[in-house]
A and B are shown apart, each in its own frame.
Chain A
């Protein structure tokens, strides 16, 4: 029915669409960056202080005399006056002097080296006298990195892997992923480092020619990003590397030689992991005897409840921000339904290696949080947050979309468009509520975000514009990218001629 329309739009139209897509993704994430104030992501007081103190500039971070504390600008030390109370807008920040020097003493910061230093060190390049501007620039830098790496992989990966690249991010990032990626939180780097890293490695194993160099560089960069941001991300990165290595496994000389690259990645991880001295803080609160009688019921309980951490990435029972911005059912139901529906269709393309990776992935998604919680004497809902697990969910979803060279994953047009609508709709609602929560507090439900606002950036762009433009950009980006990857692009179409000839009789 639509073939006529499509042929009119033709190649040039779709090519323009592809050129525009990165900018649309950037715009969508930038809207999320604007949607929340300084200090909105979890523990941002800690992270911002750590960034300011990574400058080594006493104008921004001065010693206090006490080795456990530092002096930083008040807007950095204690910006989250709104945290934990969703009815309280970010208007309370008006009382903070955003231009003050390093005057406030704080003990919340990476002074003892609990976190790796690469993220803080990089972000500290963008610290300036204006806290607002610095924070926004850092967020935009993170977004640029995400979009840049995505574009690079889209161009470098073997064509049949583009489907994984696009779908794994689309299905897992509304709303928590979008919030984290456009925040000042090191989780942003953990997320993109792991989510991109495993794909870069998969591509490195599978690609031929000069693209391999590019993929190798991207992989090493993501290794630095992941293990340079959070110590748990180092562990997840290693797991993700194994996922790629299993999926690409071949008992050939080429494979084993290629495996030197992940080994180099491990070395980076090990160096950065060692440099941060955090042998899990989570296990700190242990005070009771661990007998089997205590352990078994606790393990059983946590195993039956652990899916709530997974679905938390869609906003179910877990809020955004300081876990205080809860999402309505439509947001998490749409995100979850899109992931399960598309994943179920993708599961049809089965193979032994995919089965192994997906099974081990599911096991890891359950066992890692349960183990940490049980050891800490906690239950699901405490301590272990969905954002810690999100990078692994991205890799898991990507693995579900894995196809062998002769398989394809095909969605019908109604299916793709349903996913586009569901995710755009969820983003539309989630972005609105996230802005609402900070401009007036969540209690003032009203379609107009500009009305009676108590907080916003010193920008021409108003909350309403941010919301509308961000939602449209996100919707358009999905509408361009997902239908293009409705069907796995066959590999043979792009292989260099001699290789294609070798492969075709198979």
Chain B
């Protein structure tokens, strides 16, 4: 036991002492599981963008003739109709998921489609892993995949929390909490490879940072293993996140570089992973990835026309200026500024403002803790977040709002969020009491509203108003608790999670006296 926790438990009340070493933080993973599971149940099969494409790809990764057969041409396959047609409600927010009742989820009959990863546009790892869960009951398969993804994310994050040096925990906790509301939560609990891209990139850099900074042999190996896993998740799910995870390795190198034998020796692993992500990147997209990596689905055939448009628009100052000035809308899109699902589930202004406020508030406060290296990587990631979408859009002759979606840049936002609150030098990032309360209220409130809006959209469609999701429900998962129960339990679990984590962050900040004396006097003035 660490000396810190000894002090802590003696300071706590008699009631808690009876549980021995039980601490609230132990509940955090369970609350996270429940909160994300509620999100998994909040949307029907096929709800995340391009899910017809991704589900077909998963079914065809089984290699089982019962689920996927070769099509009449090389670029097509035969798959169960329900897998292909499940997003029957897409783009129409007044249409509930009731339309799925017209689909036959049990038939052996297969229909032909060209929508799927048949020409290797996406890396194969995600689809292959997910295909393990494909079974005769399509809906159960889909839900199993979602639950597996949630378990994987919570498992990795919990492991990181335990393994990372204690001063890196705020970057882990805040990095995730401030960047995933609501789009990140939706995607992590979905069947979309974007979920892995986010989890992979957001995990990889911190695991690698811990890998460099940890001294113990066991922890170093464990962190290295987590890092490797995260790289495969990121690079194995989307071509663009193979690029991001390579960038994340570069970020960690900037943060940790030193002239020492140990650094060189340890760098063998990230160097190897750099090669792995390069292979995935080249394998999935060949040379044109910069552009097509961003246009979802399988539109390899549109690349030619995009290239033709380039010539016309390259000199278009107006387009460049427009994109440059409007890219922030993509960033805000991550926080609810853009709709969820098939870009059809709009979030009310209150969700966007609260989620954005938490990110900006904590991120800005994090800038009070800065050294040259942190400043450089924050500026670098910020620059990429601005330049990359601007470049890709302008190259393709597109405006902000077309082609590039917020979810493509979300992994970088997660990275930025963690970097912003990173301890630099001896200065630590901490929140005051008022600040913690504001953050807890804002995140819990945003989740409460966002989850409700998301469920409303699928249960009855947005044309039915009212707070009671059970009333007049046209669709919900069979065998699941009532919608209101899912909503209430999910929201409560998320609120509990945020409370526990915020509390834990301030406790651990108080326990580790790493603040230099001048700052301490300032802090005392705030109490």
A483 at the interface (CB under 8 A from B): no
B4 at the interface (CB under 8 A from A): no
A408 at the interface (CB under 8 A from B): yes
A412-448: which residues lie under 8 A (CB-CB) from chain B? 412, 414-415, 418, 429, 445-447
Q: Which residue of B lies closest to A341 (CB)?
A: B364
Chain A residues lying within 8 Å of B368, measured Cβ to Cβ, are: 345, 411-412, 414-415
The answer to whether B466 and A340 have CB atoms under 8 Å apart is no
The answer to whether A306 and B349 have CB atoms under 8 Å apart is yes
- Number of contacts between A and B (CB, 8 Å)? 116
A342-367: which residues lie under 8 A (CB-CB) from chain B? 342-345, 347-350, 355
Give the size range of B's interface with the partner.
Answer: 35 or more
A479 at the interface (CB under 8 A from B): no
Chain A residues lying within 8 Å of B218, measured Cβ to Cβ, are: none
Chain B residues lying within 8 Å of A414, measured Cβ to Cβ, are: 367-368, 370, 375
Shortest Cβ distance from A379 into chain B, in angstroms? 12
Also in contact, A347 and B434, with CB within 8 A (given A340-B364, A410-B522, A412-B370): yes
Q: Which residue of B lies closest to A298 (CB)?
A: B465
The answer to whether B326 and A328 have CB atoms under 8 Å apart is yes
Please report the C-alpha to C-alpha distance between residue A408 and residue B522 in the assembled complex, in whole angstroms. 8
Shortest Cβ distance from A325 into chain B, in angstroms? 14
The answer to whether A349 and B526 have CB atoms under 8 Å apart is yes
Shortest Cβ distance from B208 into chain A, in angstroms? 25
Please report the C-alpha to C-alpha distance between residue A328 and residue B327 in the assembled complex, in whole angstroms. 9
Q: Among the listed A297, A304, A334, A407, which residue makes an inter-chain contact with B348, where contact means beta carbons less than 8 Å apart?
A: A304
Chain A residues lying within 8 Å of B449, measured Cβ to Cβ, are: 304
Please report the C-alpha to C-alpha distance between residue A418 and residue B382 in the assembled complex, in whole angstroms. 13
Chain B residues lying within 8 Å of A306, measured Cβ to Cβ, are: 349-350
Chain A residues lying within 8 Å of B327, measured Cβ to Cβ, are: 329-330
The answer to whether A415 and B367 have CB atoms under 8 Å apart is yes
Listed residue (B327, B328, B362) with the most chain A CB atoms within 10 angstroms of its CB: B328
B155 at the interface (CB under 8 A from A): no
B438 at the interface (CB under 8 A from A): yes
B289-325: which residues lie under 8 A (CB-CB) from chain A? 317-318, 321-322, 324-325
Also in contact, A304 and B317, with CB within 8 A (given A330-B326, A414-B367): no
Q: Among the listed A328, A331, A415, which residue makes an inter-chain contact with B322, where contact means beta carbons less than 8 Å apart?
A: A328
Q: Among the listed B328, B352, B370, B434, which residue makes an inter-chain contact with A329, where contact means beta carbons less than 8 Å apart?
A: B328
Give the size range of A's interface with the partner.
Answer: 35 or more
Q: Which residue of A lies closest to B361 (CB)?
A: A344
Also in contact, A344 and B362, with CB within 8 A (given A407-B525, A407-B526): yes
Q: Which residue of A lies closest to B465 (CB)?
A: A297
Please report the C-alpha to C-alpha distance between residue A355 and residue B352 in the assembled complex, in whole angstroms. 24
Please report the C-alpha to C-alpha distance between residue A380 and residue B349 in the assembled complex, in whole angstroms. 10
Also in contact, A311 and B322, with CB within 8 A (given A304-B449, A410-B522, A446-B317): no
Please report the C-alpha to C-alpha distance between residue A428 and residue B400 in the assembled complex, in whole angstroms. 21
Give a binary string over A287-315; 1 marks a CB under 8 Å from any B CB, 0 the rest: 00000000001001101111110110000
The answer to whether A328 and B325 have CB atoms under 8 Å apart is yes
Shortest Cβ distance from B453 into chain A, in angstroms? 8
B322-336: which residues lie under 8 A (CB-CB) from chain A? 322, 324-329, 331-332
The answer to whether B434 and A333 have CB atoms under 8 Å apart is no
Also in contact, A429 and B365, with CB within 8 A (given A306-B350, A311-B349, A340-B357): no
Shortest Cβ distance from A443 into chain B, in angstroms? 9
The answer to whether B434 and A337 have CB atoms under 8 Å apart is no
A406 at the interface (CB under 8 A from B): yes
B435 at the interface (CB under 8 A from A): yes
The answer to whether A344 and B328 have CB atoms under 8 Å apart is no
The answer to whether A350 and B434 have CB atoms under 8 Å apart is yes
Shortest Cβ distance from A407 into chain B, in angstroms? 6
A444-486: which residues lie under 8 A (CB-CB) from chain B? 445-447
Give a binary string over B362-378; 1 marks a CB under 8 Å from any A CB, 0 the rest: 11110110100001000
Please report the C-alpha to C-alpha distance between residue A414 and residue B327 in the assembled complex, in whole angstroms. 23
Shortest Cβ distance from A174 into chain B, in angstroms? 14
**Could you pull out 21 A-B pairs where Cβ atoms are within 8 angstroms?**
A300-B467, A303-B350, A304-B351, A306-B349, A307-B349, A307-B352, A328-B325, A328-B326, A333-B329, A341-B360, A341-B365, A344-B360, A347-B438, A348-B365, A348-B432, A350-B432, A355-B434, A407-B526, A412-B370, A414-B367, A418-B364
- The 9 A-B residue pairs whose C-beta atoms are closest, nearest first, are A341-B364, A344-B361, A304-B348, A333-B328, A328-B325, A329-B329, A445-B318, A307-B353, A308-B349
Beyond the given pairs A341-B363, A342-B364, A415-B367, 13 more chain A to chain B contacts, judged by CB atoms under 8 angstroms and listed by A's residue number, are: A304-B351, A311-B349, A328-B322, A328-B326, A329-B329, A330-B326, A340-B356, A341-B361, A349-B526, A350-B434, A412-B370, A418-B364, A445-B322
